[in-house]
Amino acid sequence: MNTELFVDVRRFIAWLKDDYSKLVEFRPITIRPVELASLLEKLEGIYDVPVNRASSSTVLVGTKIGLMNMNDFTEASIVISLPKESNPAEGKISVLSPLGSTLIGRNRGEVIKLCLGNSENMFCIISVDQNP
């Protein structure tokens, strides 16, 4: 695991914990407080010191993921990033987005369900590259 990215993620976890109450009130965040708490728990479990060994097929921050939309079988490739590096136009999805927070800690082959607006979407994680 990239040491610099590890340090950035640990700082991000600390920021989430310190400013949790402010984040819950911050309306541009698109995930609910319960989802934010779940994300924080997942990140702490993965990035605890000493580092827990995640398998090479586990989605982490900085991971490039291949997804298949199970509704129409289209494929997309995204990278899970910290909020300051996110750029959806470039395929960099924030860990604080509904999709990013759902994918963290999941593994290749898993199917996730995500409600976006009025539609329910199912995606299969078809590839995981922790060193894009």
12-68 tens-digit pLDDT? 877 777 765 555 555 455 667 777 778 888 888 777 755 556 678 899 999 999 999
Residue 3 confidence class, pLDDT cut points 50, 70, 90: confident
pLDDT at 96: 87
60-98 tens-digit pLDDT? 999 999 999 998 999 999 999 998 898 999 999 999 888
Phi, psi (rounded to 5 degrees) for 92? -100, 110
CA atoms of 20 and 84, how far apart (whole Å): 17
CA atoms of 129 and 132, how far apart (whole Å): 6
**Cβ atoms within 10 Å of 52's Cβ, excluding its own:** 11
CA atoms of 15 and 10, how far apart (whole Å): 9
Q: Give DSSP secondary structure letters for 82-102.
A: -GGG-BGGGTEEETTSHHHHH
More confident site: 22 or 129? 129
By C-alpha distance, which of 25, 28, 47 is closest to 104? Answer: 47
pLDDT at 27: 46
- What is the bridge-based pairing of β-strands 111-116 and 92-94? unpaired
DSSP bridge pairs for 125:
67
